[in-house]
Chains A and B, each alone.
Chain A
Amino acid sequence: MSADVELDHVSIRFGDFTAVKDANLTIREGEFFSFLGPSGCGKTTILRAISGFSEPTEGEVRIGGRNMAGIGPNRRPTALIFQNLALFPLMTVAENIAFGLEVRGVPKYERRRRAEELLKLIALPGTGDKLVTSLSGGQRQRVAIARALAVEPEVLLLDEPLSALDLKLRQHMRTELRTIQQRVGITFIYITHDQGEALTMSDRIAVMSQGVIQQVGDGESVYNDPGTAFVASFVGENNALHGRVSQADGEFAVVDTRFGGLRGRNTRGLRTGDQAILFVRPESLRLVNGEAPANVLETRVVNEEFEGSARHLHLAGDRRGLALTQTNDGEVQRVAVGDTVRVGFRPQRAVVLPEGRLASE
């Protein structure tokens, strides 16, 4: 069984501090949905409101169409996986997994059977009698998932559960989580500050900043069509060029930057004279030889890094430097540190957005 989750104009305040401001969205049933944002952006607060550990100050949380106001976490059809997993260290793996069933009065042999089934699902059969403290990080991770799944929740909530794992394991667990979600078919709501996790796993992502949901969409639309300066700078690497719109039509706008007029898509309908930022991704920047029609800026190579599959050039830029990524396909033009280079991009690959707060500013 799976259920949708609706946040109907949800605001959550702690005293004077507004942790979540007017969150309004519907998470579809069976969806892998992520809340993505830097720490302190209110994503965990939203998760706690869905799980029932806190109540919204304003608005309603509905799960499967049912208003959840006044229903405690122990009576909601949700299960939460904590950031530090919060497994019970004094219980065995099987007891941990079956705890939710024990609470519901399921008889012992039946609990044992269910625990074994779930251990098979998470590929840890036969570990039921071990203590959780004897398991590795990745194994504990999976036990926590099994414990949450044992109560057959309609919605599974995950609060940055991968953050304690090392990089390799984290990447492996991403695929694993996605596989488990597809197998059990329930709604997953995932909280993370790691845009890589959000992009690879989610059906849809809500990007949050300072308690406000900035944009909701699938990975590609959030990455390719950021709606605000924050989203553009937070999701993936991006070069920001500040300036004033000097010319605008329906589709494109030209921003008058330090490097001259540069053209990008005008998705937010900016008008001439507006303060704006033009965002262009490192992988969209190209070194330009000879004559190029437009959208070319001249700058200097400050540093370069070779990463195997790609080469990253750091160029002198606007407020921050510019980054340019070349794919190592054997056809790239080599440049040296200190060289003056001309770089350009296609206007379709850049987006002009209203001036706003950037991530980590």
Chain B
Amino acid sequence: MSEFFTVFAAVLAALIIAPAIQKHADRWWSGLTDIRFVQRNGVFISVYLVVAVVFWVLFMIVLPQLYMVDFSFRHNLPLEEVGGPDDVYTLENYRYLLFGRETDEAWLNWLHLSVFLRTIIASVLVTVANFALCYPIAYYMAQVARGGKARLLVICLIVPFWVNEILRAFAFRILFGTSGVINEVLQGLGLIDGAIDFLRADVGLYAGLTYAYILLMIFPLYNAIESLDHNQVEAARDLGAPWWRIHYRVVIPHAKPGIASGCTMVFMLSAGALAIPQILGGPSSLWFTQIIYDWFFQGLNWPQGSAYALVLLLACLVFVLGVMRLFKVSLGDIAR
């Protein structure tokens, strides 16, 4: 019966709306074609662009995130109680990250907080290591190498990333394991007596993370350094500057936007990495994302997981914006 009414109402609505549309169609159409963007791209393409972008932003980015925000402020209720009287907003999930269970003896939830801090600090270290590794390569590619050599280097950098992430991580395990290649070589050379457990010391983890995001650092750096007029490097040299001062005073200030964008991406992705810490992390080390993962899939506590994930996101944002402020880089610079 209700279906019948729905159809009936729809037909009625159509009958009322259609003449109205017909009446105003001309005006809408001319209004639409008056817009510069539409004139330039044609009606079909402009409508498609607008609809696609709005859809993408709304459904792929904004809505899911809003759901997570909403989740994070709710209790973890059994399905039948969702929407019931107990389904109210709460700060419990956030409180838990800070203070743990109310029955706990300790005042703060040290276990999770320390993992959180360690994740942030380790991500900073990974970013710094990545920058230190990539800057010379990017500089070489952008300012020193000529044509063919630079292209070859780019290929050498890209091709290893055809290997998927998991495989690469396991390869690092083999490389850094107690009976791995590095230990074998070091022992064979007689440099060390017993095997060193690189994985327990998290060397494997940091190396893996650093390597995983190398391209995201090199290409922004390369783009930025490439746009520097080589004459400026030569001018600084001619005026007596040693190489380190040329970089400090001329190249790095020029490349600052590229450095900022590379470092931001590497930091964000390192802090949010899951597979590599899972595979390469030492037995006693935990990445904050692993705790989030466990909340979702081991604890089946989505609200708690959402809260943790949001805290990580916000912390990373605040950290990145703070550092950008410190180095006087604006968001617009990064987009350049």
Residue of A nearest to B243 (CB): A74
- Chain B: residues with Cβ within 8 Å of the partner, total of 17
- Determine whether A183 belongs to the interface, using a CB cutoff of 8 Å to chain B: no
* 28 contacts across the A-B interface (CB closer than 8 A): A51-B238, A52-B238, A73-B237, A73-B238, A74-B239, A80-B234, A80-B238, A82-B234, A82-B235, A84-B229, A86-B229, A86-B231, A86-B232, A86-B234, A88-B232, A88-B249, A90-B253, A90-B254, A99-B236, A99-B241, A99-B249, A103-B239, A103-B240, A103-B241, A147-B239, A148-B239, A151-B239, A151-B240
Kindly provide the distance from the CB of B233 to the nearest chain A CB, expressed in whole angstroms.
9
Instruction: Kindly state the separation between the CA atoms of A51 and B234 in the bound complex, as whole angstroms.
Output: 10
List residues of chain B with CB within 8 A of the CB of A151.
239-240
Instruction: Flag if A74 contacts B234 (CB, 8 Å).
Output: no
Chain A proximity of B261: nearest CB distance (Å)? 18
For chain A, residues 77 to 117, give those with C-beta under 8 angstroms from any C-beta of chain B: 78-80, 82-84, 86-88, 90, 99-100, 102-104
The proximity string for B residues 215-249 relative to A, scoring 1 for CB distances below 8 Å and 0 otherwise, is: 00000000000000101101111111110010001
B99 shortest CB reach to chain A, Å: 48
Question: How many interface residues does A have (CB within 8 Å)?
Answer: 25
Measured in the bound complex, the distance between the Cα atoms of B241 and A129 in whole Å is: 22
Q: Which residues of A contact B232 (CB under 8 A)?
A: 86, 88
Partner of A74 from the list B231, B241, B254 (CB cut-off 8 Å) is: B241
Out of B229, B234, B239, B242, name the residue touching A100 (CB < 8 Å). B239
How many A-B contacts at CB < 8 Å in the complex? 57
Tell me if A75 counts as interface (CB < 8 A to partner B): yes
- What is the CB-to-nearest-CB distance from B238 to chain A, in angstroms, rounded to a whole number? 5
B250 close to A (CB within 8 Å): yes
The answer on a CB contact under 8 Å between B239 and A99 is: yes
Cβ–Cβ < 8 Å partners of B239 in chain A = 74, 79, 99-100, 103, 147-148, 151
- Report yes or no: B229 in contact with A53, Cβ–Cβ below 8 A: no
Interface residues of B (CB under 8 A from A): 229, 231-232, 234-242, 245, 249-250, 253-254
Residues 114-136 (chain A) with a chain B CB within 8 angstroms: none
Question: What is the chain A residue whose CB lies nearest that of B241?
Answer: A103
Alpha-carbon distance A268/B227, docked complex (angstroms):
52
**For residue B245, which residue of chain A has the nearest CB?**
A103
User: Which residues of A have CB within 8 Å of B250?
Assistant: 88
**Residues of A close to B238: CB separation below 8 A:** 51-53, 73-74, 78-80
Contact flags A144-161 to B (C-beta < 8 A → 1, else 0): 000110010000000000
Measured between beta carbons, the chain B residues less than 8 angstroms from A87 are 235
Cα A88 to Cα B249 with chains together (Å)? 9
Shortest Cβ distance from residue B152 to the other chain A in the assembled complex, whole angstroms: 20
Cα separation A103 to B236 with both chains bound (whole Å): 9
Residues on the B chain within 8 Å of A148, using CB: 239
7 closest A-B pairs by beta carbon, nearest first, are A86-B231, A100-B239, A86-B235, A103-B240, A103-B241, A74-B240, A82-B231
Answer yes or no: A273 CB below 8 A from chain B CBs.
no
Q: Which of B235, B242, B245 contacts A80 (CB 8 A)?
A: B235
The answer for the CA separation of A80 and B238 in the assembled complex, in Å, is 7
- Give bound CA distance, A104 to B242, whole Å: 10
Known A-B contacts A51-B238, A74-B240, A99-B239; the reply to A84 vs B231 at CB < 8 A is yes
Cα–Cα distance between A120 and B48 once the two chains are bound (Å)? 61
- Cβ-defined contact, B237 with A72, below 8 A: yes
B234's partner among A53, A99, A147 (CB-CB below 8 A) is: A53
| C-alpha gap A51/B239 in the complex (Å) | 11
A residues within 8 A CB of B234? 53, 73, 80, 82, 86
Known A-B contacts: A87-B235, A103-B240. Give 14 more (CB < 8 A): A73-B234, A73-B237, A73-B238, A75-B240, A78-B238, A80-B235, A82-B234, A84-B229, A88-B236, A90-B253, A99-B239, A103-B239, A103-B241, A147-B239
Distance, CA A71 to CA B233, complexed state (A):
17
Output the nearest chain B residue to A82 by Cβ-Cβ distance: B231
| B231:A100 contact, CB within 8 angstroms | no
